[in-house]
Structure 1
């Protein structure tokens, strides 16, 4: 039985949050694949494609901090369920028609807003349930669901588009969202007030847990959120800068690799078979490897929390930078898959540095700090996805064919240089010590 003594409830929560991030990224990859197919068939230009693909991130950026606040005040479990239901319904009801861009913009904004509540809520839930010695691998497993979902989406969805058409992807995503909502509603719960050692160990006090009956004191409504201290804190900014870079590289590759394969290398995604999922599968593997390594180094006292975070973040981002810069030099499917696999896999390893650091420095406000940091990551999606479309359109205007590596050089050079810069920022300013009581 789920949640009994032999299988603790916190494990159930981590597994469900893993499934949550998996389904969310199936949706994101699915829209990119389905819309690209529909837009190319309709003759939509690269700039217009970039605008539609980046619209999601405008809504996503707007709801990150409100998502952290709502999770803190209402409860991450409830906010997670409501946001999941909203984006699933949107996918079920909106037609995928590239000739109706206004409707697509509204739909993508709504999906972005609703999914923007998800990751701050997840961090709030995990901070309540997961003790510090399990923190790295629990967060790494949860976030690795993003890459598992992306890999699964890249493997299965192009075939669904080919057999059933682009709209069928939306129906599949809505069905997955509905199934997850049922599982979360049935099995997820808040830590009981009388039995919450895991919540206390993670930095949460009893006053922060939901009170189901009786009056609440001012203390029980939760402590005042130290917004000024959060915004002006250099370790927070170290996380923010790295979150921006991570998502810039991830979203550019996630949204534009299908175009790179189709137009840059003249390869059909359907004909590539399972190889197109390898970069995201590599992220799934390295994310969990990073979490296990981090917890091992910390619990065995081989390195301090601070040095562990800095080591994994630096190795991940620096190696990834070289792979990104080298990517347009490869002109075969195997070469591009291998290079993008190294880039994304090592970025995922770096998440055991900056991404878990939210809970190190501010376990009590993990959702809030995650909201601030993920806002930056979402802005990276807006900037990177849209800028890539404009760079490719400019290359076309300069009479460079998209099969020419020069057309793509700047696309991958920008995230490569950002990786080097952000790794230095994290080395200089990050800490693994708790700085928010």
Structure 2
């Protein structure tokens, strides 16, 4: 669309980044709203808003102001998704099945990305790039219709969101859940262990995926667009490893009787240390096949770590899972903004993207964060419920 309208790179970058501004600001409010009104309602509202915004986005990039507004709205609406999903899962899924449930639901984004890499270019070639906005918006409306049919309120709602009455300072109003313990959660190291590891995961993820075309072009001397199905391999590996991490975490708890904290820490450590090693192999790759292997391994091991940190908020705060996920996902969104920009500066500082020194430096920064985040998780993460007077299981 930008090419057809003759829009420069600066405007293109502003439009592309608009989504992340909306996505970042709605994470915590989305988690609070899902806790207050339920994930079923918030998911329906989210899909309706972002699908409508996508369908109504102008088809000409010359209307960049309207497109920016539309992309911000899509970001705001989609920022509610992950906290709402985690709220639903925390209310429906028993503790010993949560890692698998979180991994399965969140891994859908990787499978969807792999499918999009294969399908959407054909749609753009046949009907023009603006058709992608209509196609994705229509898919969102299709999902919304299905959700309205199969979606249900949480079981045993009174035990999940108990009615508290009382008089005096701090008492919740009758018919409403107790107040969210914001101060206690934000002070607790276990919450920050999740936040830091979400930042770490997304730093590595966003750096690799955003700089992947440049990496293939300048380091491997290959055009990513001409690699066919190979370019979907990292997403497919992430889908597989994300589910493997969830299964492994639950298996350690149910079959080997690991304490919850020990199981989460083990899966988290395996994932992030493996990702750190694979990241260091990327600059050393001497062929397309070795580059694809290193990239797929780095992203796959990072996805496996989600069986540790990404489910842990349900362990420590099942009643406030959406809120904690909103806080940590805000950090994850910020890491994308920071990591992608820092990588560009490091590459520029070391004679450009054609210099291996810049790639060693940039990917070392991501690898060190993986190791540092896992060490902090080992030290501070907990497995028992820390917030909320009652649990639903």
TM-score, scaled relative to structure 2: 0.88
Q: Deviations over 1:107-130 (max 9, x none)?
A: 322211111111111111111111
Q: Find the residue that maps to 1:225 and give its secondary structure.
A: coil
Per-residue deviation at 1:257? Answer: 1.9
Q: 1:121 aligns with which of 68, 84, 89?
A: 84
Q: 1:241 aligns with which of 168, 188, 196?
A: 196
Instruction: Say if 1:161 and 1:59 are closer, same or farther in 2 by CA, change over 3 A.
Output: same
Aligned positions of 1:322-337 closer than 5 A: 322-337=277-292
- Find the aligned partners of 2:155 and 2:263 in 1 and give their Cα distance: 32
- Residue in 2 aligned with 1:159? 122
- Find the aligned partners of 2:148 and 2:173 in 1 and give their Cα distance: 29
Q: Find the residue that maps to 1:221 and give its secondary structure.
A: coil
RMSD value, Cα: 2.6
- Structure 1 stretches lacking a partner, 5+ long: 1-34, 209-216
Q: Deviations over 1:299-330 (max 9, x none)?
A: 12431101100001011001101212321322
Is the CA contact (8 Å cut-off) linking 1:159 and 1:270 kept in structure 2? no
Query: Is 1:74 aligned to 2:70, yes or no?
Result: no
Q: Deviations over 1:114-148 (max 9, x none)?
A: 11111111111111111112111111101111211
Aligned positions of 1:83-94 closer than 5 A: 83-94=46-57
Query: Is 1:230 aligned to 2:185, yes or no?
Result: yes
Q: How many correspondences in the alignment?
A: 381
Is the CA contact (8 Å cut-off) linking 1:54 and 1:386 kept in structure 2? no
- Find the aligned partners of 2:38 and 2:294 in 1 and give their Cα distance: 41
Q: 1:273 aligns with which of 209, 216, 228?
A: 228
Instruction: Say if 1:159 and 1:414 are closer, same or farther in 2 by CA, change over 3 A.
Output: farther
- Residue in 2 aligned with 1:56? 19
Q: Deviations over 1:362-386 (max 9, x none)?
A: 0011111111111111111221233
Q: 1:432 aligns with which of 377, 383, 386?
A: 383
Is the CA contact (8 Å cut-off) linking 1:50 and 1:385 kept in structure 2? no
Q: Find the residue that maps to 1:86 and give its secondary structure.
A: helix
Q: 2:324 aligns with which of 344, 369, 375?
A: 369
- Find the aligned partners of 1:314 and 1:85 in 2 and give their Cα distance: 38
Q: Deviations over 1:48-74 (max 9, x none)?
A: 655543332221111111001111112
Is the CA contact (8 Å cut-off) linking 1:158 and 1:269 kept in structure 2? no
Per-residue deviation at 1:161? Answer: 3.2
TM-score, scaled relative to structure 1: 0.80
Q: 1:110 aligns with which of 73, 93, 98?
A: 73
Instruction: Say if 1:49 and 1:319 are closer, same or farther in 2 by CA, change over 3 A.
Output: farther
Aligned positions of 1:5-404 closer than 5 A: 38=2, 42=6, 44-45=8-9, 50-95=13-58, 101-193=64-156, 204-207=160-163, 218-262=173-217, 265-391=220-346, 394=348, 400=352, 402-404=353-355
- Find the aligned partners of 2:361 and 2:138 in 1 and give their Cα distance: 38
Is the CA contact (8 Å cut-off) linking 2:313 and 2:324 kept in structure 1? yes
Q: Deviations over 1:331-390 (max 9, x none)?
A: 433222211110111111100100000100000111111111111111112212333445
- Find the aligned partners of 2:123 and 2:219 in 1 and give their Cα distance: 23
- Find the aligned partners of 1:98 and 1:334 in 2 and give their Cα distance: 37
Is the CA contact (8 Å cut-off) linking 1:39 and 1:49 kept in structure 2? no
- Find the aligned partners of 2:236 and 2:103 in 1 and give their Cα distance: 14
Per-residue deviation at 1:391? Answer: 4.6
- Find the aligned partners of 1:187 and 1:379 in 2 and give their Cα distance: 34
- Find the aligned partners of 1:290 and 1:65 in 2 and give their Cα distance: 26
- Structure 2 stretches lacking a partner, 5+ long: 165-171, 389-393
- Find the aligned partners of 1:141 and 1:434 in 2 and give their Cα distance: 23
- Find the aligned partners of 2:53 and 2:257 in 1 and give their Cα distance: 48
- Find the aligned partners of 2:358 and 2:4 in 1 and give their Cα distance: 19
Instruction: Say if 1:262 and 1:43 are closer, same or farther in 2 by CA, change over 3 A.
Output: farther
